[in-house]
Chain A
Amino acid sequence: MHLPAFVRRLGLLLRGRRAERELAQEMELHLELLEGQLREQGLDPREARRQARIAFGSRESLRAEARDAPGFVRTRELLEDVRHSLKSLSRNPGFALVAVAVLAMGIGATIAIFSVLSAMLLRPVPFPDGQRIVSLAWNHGDTVSPSLSSAKFAYWREHTSSFVAIGSWQPFFGRVGEPGEVTGAQGLRVTDGFFRVLGTPPTVGRAFSAEEHRSGGPPVALVSPDFWRMHFGESVDVSGRVSVRVEEERYAVVGLLPEGFTFPYVARPVEIVIPTEVFVDPEDEAQNWTTLARLDVGVAMRDARTEVVWLNHGFKAAYPQQAGEPEPGMMLGSFGELYAGRTANAIWILMGAVAAVLLIACANVGSLFLARALRRRRELAIHNALGATEGRIIRLGVVEALVVASAAGAIGAVFAVWGAGALVVLAPVRLPLTGAIAVDWRVGVFAIGISLAASVAVGLIGAWPGVRGGPWKALRRDSRTTTGSGRLQEALVSGQAALSMILLVGAGLLFTTWSNLRQVDPGFDPNALVAVQLPIRPPTYDTSERLERFARGVIEAVRAGGAGIVAGASSLPFERGLNFPISIAGRGEFGGSVELRTVTPGYFRTLAIPLIRGRSFTAMDVRGAVPVAIVNETFARRYFPGGDAIGQRIDLGRRGNVYRYPSLKGPGIVIVGVAADVQDVSFRTAVRRTLYLPQAQAPDVIAGIRPTLPVFVVRSSQPLERIERGFREAILTVDPALPGPRVFPLSETVADSLARERFGTILVSLFGALALILTVVGVYSTLAQAVRVRRREIGIRMAVGANGDAVLRLIVVRGLTPVAIGIGFGLVGAVVLSGLLEAYLWGVTGTDAGTLGMAAVGILGVAAIACWIPAREAARVDPARVLSSS
């Protein structure tokens, strides 16, 4: 159909009732004029009327005829088609149920992943004119970090002219409330400009003044309306007379946050906001300032981008110490883009996986429709012969598919909402969403679009025999021959096998990665190791000596209780230590930043970390004695390649000839031992250069930086509850004001560090399994139908001497051929697509022959089982009965 014709028909269709009314009026006018003419010829009015009607013909049937004119209003017919489809589907509820269920699975999974993607990338941030809010991030080359160092933040704030405002925030979870009724609250520390970027000033009260943002300025806070109600009741007073205690300080409440204020990337609703200042420290490389900016009116993203990148030169000249590494530098992106980053790539891959599942589902249901259409071919041919046009028959098929797909879409959408929620909750990383997962217009349009696409695909596949054969051919041929449509069915099976292959290879690669990582030796023995952590550090524990006294006290008390081997440390394995600059004594140049951990004597023994050379820490390594250190192998290799690390000295905190903290100046720390490497951050990352210091000799500077109390590790066979009780009592004897500790097996932490890999593996395996099941069902139903159709041929073959085994072989080969072809295509596809997955793999390449082979053999094996059942049935065909029955 040409486009103008289509538009014209559409116009007629839309005019609907009006066209019918016009026709009726036209006919009435004609009748009136005819009557008038007859009256003029001398007939009396009644007779004139009668004769006019006879001459005109039946208006009812003429109207019906006009309605049947091609392109005339078809709405009623369409409704009839829907009714007809519902009737024919309800005659075969099993078929309808399977078709709806399979499609619902595919559609639902696709919508679920899409709604996550939408919330992550497509939706603007939930603030006024949100698309003008952009994010500044530092491109390290291999990663992009949306958090900036103080110097970077300050430099760009000062030098850019593209933005109305630029602001930064740090989330915190603090203890809020008067002593005795302290609760935890989600808070944000924000810089001047933060609320101007968001464009949401407080609804009650006022925003912070410039003075309040300066350190030493009046302590003030904004709180959420809910927070106010919970702590202060219904009447609101934001004059500053009411104050709220956060940690140890009081903040006067000067305003309320907008109702329902949520901030993306902070897990809970924000309850309290406190102003802060950015202290510019050229030496401080900690990337702690997450930064947003609002584009000025009339400034295009492209221009702002150019300016931001251009400023890199100036920054590197002003802060050479922060530009040492060959970093590409600052970049500008949309809020979602920069936050979602790697996670978004993973979700895109999942989207690809579910799209493959949906395609398989469509092919599968399409083949069900096709098989049914073949069974009903005679019926359709008779319809056709009786006057239903070919177009009408195809349309009937598409309408039927539409009914099925609409039901599947509706069911799928419900499950999708639920599934997407579950995905967000179960995901081991907090997904960088711009708000809650919601069914907004994007998701709605997507759901409807995808259901329509699915119904068209299914309907066209199902209508194939009608299109290809034409009615007369179908009537002439009996139902025993299946040439064209048989080939289509085989092509569909091949397609399904190819997509399954790709999904299974992906699942296999992720599984291999996961199991590889699980086999990495962490360098310590996590079994029977229990970690003990205190949730807070009271401000009274501000010096190294106090921390040491606390640690020693607890360890002694626990030992007295006979808990087992105990040690303390500044942080647990698989938890980041402190990133600290060092230089080697006697060498002028800056050594670099290393991982710093302070530990008590017995740490290495407790974790079973082998000491390669030298000695461990002892009770003699205390303040006043010679300061000592133990380094790991990686450290020793890096700084003393080929030489001996023992006896060498380290200058803590020295960068070249500058001391970061003057109090650290001294004769240096002597290395007394080299410990084996430990996978201390994660299994994936390379071991970092690590420096261990005795807790008793740790400088106060370090105590000041590390915001936690020491943690403890126990190697013990006692039950967890007993260990917990032991520690609770021990801590009470040292400081009764401290809360109870969190006690958990360290093996849990180790397993948690693989949670991301495990989750990805489970999800992709789930989709792979779905794909495989659908494909196998497709293989089975296609072959079973072919066997049914070819019973006669099989009977003849057996009558002329073929034995059951030969028939069995024939059928199995026939069934597996399209599967094998599909696997071939899938193999090529998997190799082509392997690059996408490469970043998520570890210890296995994307084109791993073993995985490809396993997937191929797996699909072929399961398909062979599916072929076996119809093949065995074929082998049991009784030639005499088949031949006599026809």
Chain B
Amino acid sequence: MTPANDRLHGHLDLLILSSLAGGPMHGWAIAQRLGILSERVLEVGQGSIYPALRRLEAAGRISAKVAVSEAGRRARFYSLTAAGRRQLEAERDEWVDFAAAVQRVLDGV
């Protein structure tokens, strides 16, 4: 696993968590939300969210429940746990600080 790939994993987790902040979603819907990013920025397949979902589930950040979707299909719906919500906030703050710092360097302040 290359370091770059490793960093993407971290970002993917953050993006999934933030997608779920609005309420429970199933895998397809999460992918749709991340759609604009998928092929071009992350350079990994849409399917990558599934291992990430498993990892987050095992870590207790999200929980899954099987329910029927609006299209009438059975699917696993994911939602944030309390621990997941805390992690999302922490990582979001970190990201904002980091992005701001990078921005300042690029702007040559």
Give chain A's interface residues, CB within 8 Å of chain B: 4-5, 8-9, 12, 22-23, 26-27, 29-30, 33-34, 54-59, 62, 65-66, 68-72
For A65, list chain B residues within 8 Å (CB): 51
Instruction: Say which one of B16-24, B40-48, B88-96, B97-105 lies at the interface with A.
Output: B40-48
A5 with B51, Cβ < 8 A, contacts A26-B75, A30-B27 known: no
For A56, list chain B residues within 8 Å (CB): 45-47
For B51, list chain A residues within 8 Å (CB): 62, 65-66, 68-69
For A27, list chain B residues within 8 Å (CB): 47, 50
When the two chains form their complex, are residues A55 and B45 in contact, meaning their CB atoms are under 8 A apart? Answer: yes
Q: Least Cβ distance of B53 to chain A in Å?
A: 8
Q: Least Cβ distance of A648 to chain B in Å?
A: 94
Pick from B45, B54, B59: contact of A58, CB under 8 Å: B45
Q: Least Cβ distance of A358 to chain B in Å?
A: 38
* Residue ID in chain B nearest A64 by CB atoms: B51
A66 with B31, Cβ < 8 A, contacts A55-B45, A57-B46 known: no
Pick from B50, B55, B66: contact of A70, CB under 8 Å: B55
For A69, list chain B residues within 8 Å (CB): 51, 54-55, 58
When the two chains form their complex, are residues B45 and A57 in contact, meaning their CB atoms are under 8 A apart? Answer: yes
The 6 A-B pairs at the shortest CB distance, nearest first, are namely A57-B45, A71-B58, A65-B51, A69-B55, A66-B51, A57-B47
A-B CB contact pairs (8 Å), 7 listed: A12-B57, A30-B31, A62-B51, A65-B51, A66-B55, A68-B51, A70-B58
Q: Least Cβ distance of B82 to chain A in Å?
A: 12
- Roughly how many angstroms separate A26 CA and B26 CA in the complex, as a whole number? 9
A26 with B60, Cβ < 8 A, contacts A33-B28, A58-B45, A70-B55 known: no
Pick from A9, A22, A30, A70: contact of B47, CB under 8 Å: A30
For A54, list chain B residues within 8 Å (CB): 45
When the two chains form their complex, are residues A62 and B45 in contact, meaning their CB atoms are under 8 A apart? Answer: yes
* Residue ID in chain B nearest A65 by CB atoms: B51
- Roughly how many angstroms separate A57 CA and B44 CA in the complex, as a whole number? 7
A62 with B28, Cβ < 8 A, contacts A22-B76, A26-B76, A70-B58 known: no
Q: Least Cβ distance of B95 to chain A in Å?
A: 23
When the two chains form their complex, are residues A29 and B50 in contact, meaning their CB atoms are under 8 A apart? Answer: no
For B87, list chain A residues within 8 Å (CB): none
When the two chains form their complex, are residues A62 and B60 in contact, meaning their CB atoms are under 8 A apart? Answer: no
Give chain B's interface residues, CB within 8 Å of chain A: 26-28, 31, 38-39, 44-48, 50-51, 54-55, 57-60, 66, 73, 75-76
For B39, list chain A residues within 8 Å (CB): 55
When the two chains form their complex, are residues B58 and A26 in contact, meaning their CB atoms are under 8 A apart? Answer: no
When the two chains form their complex, are residues B75 and A66 in contact, meaning their CB atoms are under 8 A apart? Answer: no
- Roughly how many angstroms separate A176 CA and B97 CA in the complex, as a whole number? 101
* Residue ID in chain B nearest A33 by CB atoms: B28
Pick from B27, B47, B54, B76: contact of A72, CB under 8 Å: B54
Q: Least Cβ distance of B36 to chain A in Å?
A: 13
Given contacts A69-B51, A70-B59, 19 further A-B contacts (CB under 8 A): A4-B60, A5-B60, A8-B58, A23-B54, A26-B26, A27-B50, A29-B28, A29-B73, A33-B28, A34-B46, A55-B45, A56-B45, A57-B48, A58-B47, A62-B50, A66-B50, A71-B59, A72-B54, A72-B58
For B45, list chain A residues within 8 Å (CB): 54-58, 62
When the two chains form their complex, are residues A12 and B58 in contact, meaning their CB atoms are under 8 A apart? Answer: yes
**Which of the listed residues B44, B54, B57 has the most CB atoms from chain A within 10 Å of its own CB?**
B54
For A62, list chain B residues within 8 Å (CB): 45, 47-48, 50-51
For B76, list chain A residues within 8 Å (CB): 22, 26
- Roughly how many angstroms separate A56 CA and B38 CA in the complex, as a whole number? 10
- Roughly how many angstroms separate A527 CA and B71 CA in the complex, as a whole number? 104
* Residue ID in chain A nearest B64 by CB atoms: A22
Q: Least Cβ distance of A815 to chain B in Å?
A: 47
* Residue ID in chain A nearest B29 by CB atoms: A33
Q: Least Cβ distance of B26 to chain A in Å?
A: 8
Q: Least Cβ distance of B35 to chain A in Å?
A: 10
Q: Least Cβ distance of A15 to chain B in Å?
A: 11
For B59, list chain A residues within 8 Å (CB): 70-71
- Roughly how many angstroms separate A71 CA and B60 CA in the complex, as a whole number? 10
* Residue ID in chain B nearest A55 by CB atoms: B46
For B75, list chain A residues within 8 Å (CB): 26, 29
For B44, list chain A residues within 8 Å (CB): 57
- Roughly how many angstroms separate A73 CA and B38 CA in the complex, as a whole number? 28
* Residue ID in chain B nearest A24 by CB atoms: B50
* Residue ID in chain A nearest B49 by CB atoms: A30
For A68, list chain B residues within 8 Å (CB): 51
Q: Least Cβ distance of B77 to chain A in Å?
A: 11
For A12, list chain B residues within 8 Å (CB): 57-58
For B55, list chain A residues within 8 Å (CB): 66, 69-70
A26 with B50, Cβ < 8 A, contacts A69-B58, A70-B59 known: yes
For A57, list chain B residues within 8 Å (CB): 44-48
Q: Least Cβ distance of B47 to chain A in Å?
A: 4
For B73, list chain A residues within 8 Å (CB): 29
- Roughly how many angstroms separate A12 CA and B51 CA in the complex, as a whole number? 14
- Roughly how many angstroms separate A80 CA and B10 CA in the complex, as a whole number? 29
* Residue ID in chain B nearest A54 by CB atoms: B45
For A22, list chain B residues within 8 Å (CB): 66, 76
For B38, list chain A residues within 8 Å (CB): 55
For B31, list chain A residues within 8 Å (CB): 30
Q: Least Cβ distance of A809 to chain B in Å?
A: 54
- Roughly how many angstroms separate A68 CA and B50 CA in the complex, as a whole number? 12
Q: Least Cβ distance of A6 to chain B in Å?
A: 11
- Roughly how many angstroms separate A665 CA and B51 CA in the complex, as a whole number? 104
A30 with B54, Cβ < 8 A, contacts A55-B38, A55-B39 known: no
Q: Least Cβ distance of A17 to chain B in Å?
A: 15
- Roughly how many angstroms separate A54 CA and B43 CA in the complex, as a whole number? 12
Q: Least Cβ distance of B20 to chain A in Å?
A: 16
For B57, list chain A residues within 8 Å (CB): 12
Q: Least Cβ distance of B27 to chain A in Å?
A: 5
Q: Least Cβ distance of B32 to chain A in Å?
A: 9
* Residue ID in chain A nearest B71 by CB atoms: A33
For A71, list chain B residues within 8 Å (CB): 58-59
For B26, list chain A residues within 8 Å (CB): 26
For B54, list chain A residues within 8 Å (CB): 23, 66, 69, 72
